[in-house]
Amino acid sequence: MKFKIFLTVLLASALGAAASAKTITLLNVSYDPTRELYVDFNAAFAKYWKAKTGDDVTVKQSHAGSGAQARAINDGLQADVATLALAADVDALYNVGKLVPQDWQKRLPNNSAPYTSTIVFLVRKGNPKGIKDWDDIVKPGVTIVTPNPKTSGGARWNYLAAWGYALKKYGSEDKAKEFVGKLFKNVPVLDSGARGSTTTFVQREIGDVALSWENEAFLVLKEYGADKFEVVVPSLSILAEPTVTVVDKFVKKKGTEAVAKAYLDYLYSDEGQEIAARNFYRPRNETVAAKYVKVFPKLTLLTIDADFGGWTKAQKTHFTDGGVFDQIYLK
Amino acid sequence: MAGPATSLAAKPARSGAGTPRVIRNPLWVRVVFMTLALGFLACFLVLPLAAVFAEALRKGIGAYFHSFADPDVHSAIRLTLLTAAIAVPANLVFGVAAAWCIAKYDFRGKSLLVTLIDLPFAVSPVISGLIYMLIFGLQGWLGPYLGAGDHPWFGEWFNQQDIKIVFAVPGIVLATIFVTFPFVARELIPLMQTQGNDEEYAALTLGATGWQTFWRVTVPNIKWGLFYGVILCNARAMGEFGAVSVVSGKIRGETTTMPLHIEILYNENNSVAAFAVASLLALLALVTLVLKSFIEWRHAQSRPAV
């Protein structure tokens, strides 16, 4: 039996290797809601790279909850680039697998976050529960859909936005903890990723409000029609910075370092920023941002570095085993 | 619903006129049970199956076939077929060997082997996937020696070989073999046990070699059970989700099998395509059922002749 498995493995890897040897293939391991963004961006990049170097480049995509994807890369999913939902998940690539250098975040502009987003509320048409701000969603009888902060990046932004709001409004950590505790009492189901959560809210029709990436909420309006859902912008939210990096260890092995780097640089180009904005991610480039200023509502945004002391600290306080989230949720 | 139920129920009553009155159930009991069983089947099996096809055809037959034009769907179908094409023969050989050992010989640890064969039935598919992750993952036992590993002694050499197990086709095949492990063996063991060794002994006494005995005596005897096991094994191999999901890495067009691709399409708000692929899998299941009934029928027919 063992020998047979071995043969099978050999055969299958030979097949696998033969199939992927012709053009340059990159693997972009990303988080859940970026599927549509990277379908557009990959096509644009392939065109750009062909014009620049004459090489064909195919970018394969893999999507799941951000934390789960970081775990998969550490387990050996050979990503050339990781475009995850937050810095802490990319940190894990250094902490666990030593796949990227410790200072990965300094290698690209804007904290290695080429586009940003924020957290908004997605409600059903007519806003039947009258949800305007964070206080309205923790009321008894309101059901909230959000993914699991342990596996999903978006969920961690959701959590921190709520925490930041409560801390500002009620003034103490204890009050914030109580507030977020009440919020998670209203959550009937924790999906593992943002897209699963959206499906739960939109297709399975569970919940009064979904805490959602802004880009995901706009996408729902676009896909399902503004006659079925509404976006509610709370008084305060968080500047969500999805971060990107080349996975050094794998690109060195595959010899794709240059293409992978160019791929990420292209995210910062005018074209890349345009594509991000068209897919409802807030662009960093000011010219492009000015063009799309009407799309993105203005609101007060907390930042992870100024208000939470950076991702390393936030991750440790709130989301590690036995952290604040566990204390709240397991209670 | 009441019409056919009643007529079906009435039949045994007429033909069973010889059975004593006390053990015959009154008509209404039979009708109630029949309606319950059929109603249950309709609600939980036929309706969802119909819903899959209805959803797949919601935007018309054109959109349905258009779903299959996507190269990622092709790749998913190819990968599913490849996986089954490796897993089924592997388990066929293993199943015959294991059933042979168990049915024809007595040895120490036999019951342990029987229990082990059943293990994949008892273990959740997620765990089946995770064990391969633990072994072949980069942070696992063997992972550091493989693919991207950088083990101080072997790392360099293995690095150049580019052996990928998890997040690649071999991992998917391994996980599938694991979960479909028992099907053939489970089907053959009782069959071979009832048949005993007599015919083989007879062949051997008449001068047949072991190999001849196997092909001319054993195989014809277990033929239908073997087909049956292979078909069930194949159905499971193509439909497996949980174990494969863990080791797949979900690289579109590369490591997504049909069941995984269905989930991806569904999550991308592309329900027509999702259900179109699902309908293909469902069709496969129906073909399996038809084949299975056919084999049962043939088996029943061939019995008296043997």
- Residue A214 per-residue DSSP state: H
Q: What is the mean pLDDT of residues B206-217?
A: 89
* A221–chain B Cβ distance below 8 A for any pair: no
pLDDT, residue B304, reads 55
**Which phi and psi (to 5°) does residue A224 adopt?**
-105, -5
For residue A142, the distance in angstroms to the closest alpha carbon of chain B comes to 25
- Tell me the count of A-B CB pairs closer than 8 A: 103
Quick one: A317 and A207 in the same domain?
yes
pLDDT, residue B18, reads 58
Chain A CB contacts of B271 below 8 Å: 203
Q: What percent of chain B has pLDDT over 90?
A: 40
Chain A CB contacts of B90 below 8 Å: 4-5, 8
Q: What is the mean pLDDT of residues B188-204?
A: 89
Diameter of chain B measured on Cα atoms: 82
pLDDT, residue B268, reads 82
Helix boundaries (H) for chain A: 2-19, 35-53, 66-74, 87-95, 109-112, 134-137, 153-170, 173-185, 194-202, 214-224, 248-254, 257-268, 270-278, 286-291, 304-308, 310-314, 324-330
Cβ of B140 within 8 Å of Cβ of A196? The answer is no
Quick one: A254 and A319 in the same domain?
no
pLDDT digits (tens, 9 = 90+) for A78-114: 999 999 999 999 999 999 989 999 999 999 999 999 9
Q: Measured between CB atoms, which of A1, A78, A199 is closest to B267?
A: A199
Quick one: A323 and A189 in the same domain?
yes
Quick one: A74 and A157 in the same domain?
no
Query: Among all chains, which residue has been given the structure tokens 């007060």?
Result: A300
Question: How far is A309 from A88, CA to CA, in rounded Å?
Answer: 12
Strand pairing category for A57-63 and A24-30: parallel
pLDDT, residue A18, reads 44
pLDDT, residue B180, reads 93
pLDDT, residue A247, reads 97
For residue A66, the distance in angstroms to the closest alpha carbon of chain B comes to 13
Quick one: A148 and A178 in the same domain?
yes
Range of the domain at A287: 2-116+241-291
* A249–chain B Cβ distance below 8 A for any pair: yes
CATH code of the domain containing A163: 3.40.190.10
Whether the predicted pLDDT of B58 surpasses 70: yes
For residue B138, the distance in angstroms to the closest alpha carbon of chain A comes to 4
* A177–chain B Cβ distance below 8 A for any pair: no
For residue A59, the distance in angstroms to the closest alpha carbon of chain B comes to 10
pLDDT digits (tens, 9 = 90+) for B73-96: 999 999 999 999 999 999 999 999
For residue B94, the distance in angstroms to the closest alpha carbon of chain A comes to 7
Whether the predicted pLDDT of B9 surpasses 50: no
Report chain B residues touching chain A, CB-CB < 8 A. Answer: 82, 86, 90, 93-94, 133, 136-140, 143, 146-148, 150, 159, 162-170, 173-174, 177, 249-254, 264, 266-269, 271
Question: How far is B303 from B306, CA to CA, in rounded Å?
Answer: 5
With beta carbons less than 8 A apart as the criterion, state whether B136 and B226 touch: no
Residues of chain A with pLDDT under 50: 1-3, 7, 10, 14-22
Quick one: A44 and A184 in the same domain?
no
Diameter of chain A measured on Cα atoms: 65
Whether the predicted pLDDT of B232 surpasses 60: yes
Quick one: A217 and A109 in the same domain?
no
Whether the predicted pLDDT of B10 surpasses 50: no
pLDDT, residue A223, reads 87
pLDDT, residue B287, reads 87
Quick one: A140 and A35 in the same domain?
no
pLDDT, residue B155, reads 53
Range with lowest mean pLDDT among A295-304, B3-12, B114-123, B192-201: B3-12
Chain B CB contacts of A12 below 8 Å: 82, 86, 168-170, 173
Q: Find the helix or strand (DSSP H, E) in which A119 lies.
A: strand A119-124
Cβ of B173 within 8 Å of Cβ of A12? The answer is yes
Question: How far is A172 from B147, CA to CA, in rounded Å?
Answer: 50
For residue A300, the distance in angstroms to the closest alpha carbon of chain B comes to 31
Cβ of B138 within 8 Å of Cβ of A64? The answer is no
Kindly indicate the confidence band of residue B156, based on its pLDDT and cuts at 50, 70 and 90: low
pLDDT, residue B149, reads 55
Q: What percent of chain B has pLDDT over 70?
A: 85
* Interaxial angle between packed helices B110-122 and B182-195, expressed in degrees from 0 to 180 and rounded to the nearest 10: 140
Quick one: A287 and A316 in the same domain?
no
Quick one: A108 and A210 in the same domain?
no
What predicted TM-score, i.e. pTM, was given to this entire model? 0.81
Q: Identify the closest residue of chain B to A29 by CA–CA distance.
A: B251
* A323–chain B Cβ distance below 8 A for any pair: no
Quick one: A52 and A175 in the same domain?
no
Whether the predicted pLDDT of B300 surpasses 90: no
**Which phi and psi (to 5°) does residue A70 adopt?**
-60, -45
pLDDT, residue A271, reads 96
Q: Measured between CB atoms, which of A20, A60, A195 is closest to B267?
A: A195
Quick one: A216 and A276 in the same domain?
no
Q: Find the helix or strand (DSSP H, E) in which A211 lies.
A: strand A209-213
Kindly indicate the confidence band of residue B153, based on its pLDDT and cuts at 50, 70 and 90: low
pLDDT, residue A21, reads 39
pLDDT, residue B159, reads 58
pLDDT digits (tens, 9 = 90+) for B261-293: 999 998 887 889 999 999 999 888 888 888 888
Give Cα A296 distance to the centre of its chain: 18
- Mean pLDDT over each residue of chain B, to the nearest integer: 84
User: Per the structure block, which two tokens stand in for B91?
Assistant: 């388990």
pLDDT, residue A20, reads 44
Mutate to test the interface with A, among B269, B272, B275 (most CBs of A within 10 A): B269
Per the structure, the count of domains in chain A is 2
Distances (CA, A) of B64 to B49, B268, B277, B279: 16, 16, 9, 10
Chain A CB contacts of B269 below 8 Å: 223-224
More confident residue, B179 or B147: B179
